[in-house]
Amino acid sequence: MTNNMDEKSNAITKEMIKTQLIGSPGSILFALGLYGVFAVNGDAFIDFLNEPTNCYAMIGVGGAIMAWQAYRIFTLAQKRKALQKGE
C-alpha cells in the first residue's frame, strides 16, 4: 500500500513541476509588463515595451497565467496532503 502511495505522491510532484514550468512564462510576461509600465519611460530595450497598452496586456495575460498556476499548485498540494493523511 505504501508503494502505491509513493507512486501517487511522485505523480503529484511531477504534475507540480510541470505546472511550474508551464507557468514560468506568465511570470516573465508579468515582470516585463511591470518593467514597461514603471521603469522604462520610453527607453526600453525592446520597442514593444515602450507602448503602455502592450505592457498592460502583458500584465493581464501574465497575471492570468500566474493565477492559474497558483490555483493548480494549491489543489495539487491539497491532494498530496490528503494522500499523506491516508484519506
- Using an 8 Å Cβ cutoff, are 44 and 16 in contact? no
Q: Where are the domains of the chain?
A: 2-85
pLDDT of res. 85: 87
How does residue 87 score in pLDDT terms, banded at 50, 70 and 90? Answer: low
Q: What is the pTM of this model?
A: 0.85
- Using an 8 Å Cβ cutoff, are 22 and 69 in contact? yes
Read off the pLDDT of residues 32-85 as tens digits, 9 standing for 90 and up. 999 999 998 888 898 999 999 999 999 999 999 999 999 999 999 999 999 888
Residues in the chain: 87
How does residue 3 score in pLDDT terms, banded at 50, 70 and 90? Answer: confident
